[in-house]
Homo-oligomer: A and B are copies of this chain.
Amino acid sequence: MPRAHYVGVDMGGTSFKIAVGDAEGRVVCERRAATQSEAGPEVVLARLAAESKAALEEAGAKAPTAIGIGLPGTLDMRAGVVRYLANFPGHWRDVDVRGPLEKALGAPVHILNDVRAATLGEHMFGRGRELGAQSMVLLALGTGIGGGVVIDGKLRLGALGSAGEIGHTILDPNGPPCGCGSRGCLETFASGPALSAEGVRLVLTGQAPRLREIVEGDANRVDPRAMGEAANAGDDKVRAAIARAGTYLAQVIANLIVALHPELVVIGGGVAGLGDLLMDPIRRGVRDYVKMFPVDTVRIETSTLGDRAGAMGAIAWAMQGGMPE
């Protein structure tokens, strides 16, 4: 009997990552390629199949046992169909992912939301495994805020695979409009764009001299990374803006802790690169907010897998055989 090999794919709008894992979940090969999403679904799926085959060959594997694919959008997980991918040019709608890929690769294809994949990755192979956490919550801070919940070792999906959308926790029903159609979601206060917008305001009002220098006066270049640099270089208002985002995150995390009492909360995504500038206010806020029980029973940590979490979680999803009936 040939050795089992699982393919995990993390599909992004600009690039996708492929990892091949063995039956023990060890990653034996990783590749990355441009998505070229402007070419349309058919071309993208053909590229994905070709890159998967190349990765399997590199790993010395003949055929995959199963393939897991994390996708950033609304899915029909049971049908293997993408209902809507907002971040892809042309907005993929009702695209059958499973059919063409199962045909091309000759093995079962299981899709799931990309941040749910990252949650599973951190749980099985990252911070969750390191700390032995059976229940955990992940927040991925980027252009949006994605999330995922694991309870007693099982990824929480709900009937539609949509559970875990923590970025759309409503903090202020009268707050800024969110891309989801609601108002005042966490995403409108603590995502990368929300943070950058406040950075731009601080530059425009002369309250962030270091940030202004770093981006050479160009508002287009204001991003969380530049803001972290400016905060460390002495821009106190920028530091405070990052801390405010952390305090909003803390409120949502505190509320999840009193509802679910997970052992671990993982902060991932690009904005997590701010490190202690963000993590200290999050931890402080959670301590301030949770009075129902000793909150030192919950670890709040950055991701250990970083941008590898999605592909590794997709391997785990393939190993699990996707969504149970």
Q: Using CB atoms and an 8 Å cutoff, list the residues of chain A in contact with chain B.
A: 74, 135, 147, 149, 151-152, 154, 156-160, 162-166, 168-170, 173, 178, 180-182, 247, 251, 254-256, 258-263, 288-294, 297
Instruction: Known A169-B255, A170-B255; judge A261-B292 contact (CB<8 A).
Output: no
Q: How far is the CA of A157 from the CA of B262 in the complex (A)?
A: 10
Residues of B within 8 A of A149 (CB): 259-260
Contact in complex: A160, B251 (CB < 8 Å): no
Contact in complex: A159, B297 (CB < 8 Å): yes
Residue of A74, A258, A261 with most partner-chain B CB within 10 A = A258
If A151-B151, A162-B293, A182-B289 are given as contacts, then 17 extra A-B residue pairs at C-beta distance below 8 Å, sorted by A number, are A74-B293, A149-B259, A156-B260, A159-B261, A159-B297, A160-B297, A162-B258, A162-B292, A163-B258, A165-B292, A166-B258, A168-B291, A168-B292, A170-B254, A170-B289, A255-B255, A256-B259
One of B160, B247, B255 near A293 (C-beta < 8 A): B160
One of B163, B247, B251, B261 near A162 (C-beta < 8 A): B261
**What is the predominant secondary structure among interface residues of chain A facing chain B?**
loop
Contact in complex: A163, B261 (CB < 8 Å): yes
In the complex, the 3 A-B pairs of residues with the closest C-beta atoms, listed nearest first: A158-B261, A181-B291, A163-B261
Residues of B within 8 A of A173 (CB): 247, 251, 289
Residues of B within 8 A of A156 (CB): 151, 260-261
Contact in complex: B291, A261 (CB < 8 Å): no
Nearest opposing residue in chain B for A157, CB measure? B261
Instruction: Known A135-B158, A181-B291, A291-B182; judge A169-B297 contact (CB<8 A).
Output: no
Q: How far is the CA of A192 from the CA of B138 in the complex (A)?
A: 34
Residues of B within 8 A of A152 (CB): 151, 154
Residues of B within 8 A of A165 (CB): 258-259, 292
One of B255, B260, B288 near A158 (C-beta < 8 A): B260
Q: How far is the CA of A259 from the CA of B257 in the complex (A)?
A: 12
| Nearest Cβ on chain B to A79's Cβ, whole angstroms | 15
Q: How far is the CA of A147 from the CA of B135 in the complex (A)?
A: 19
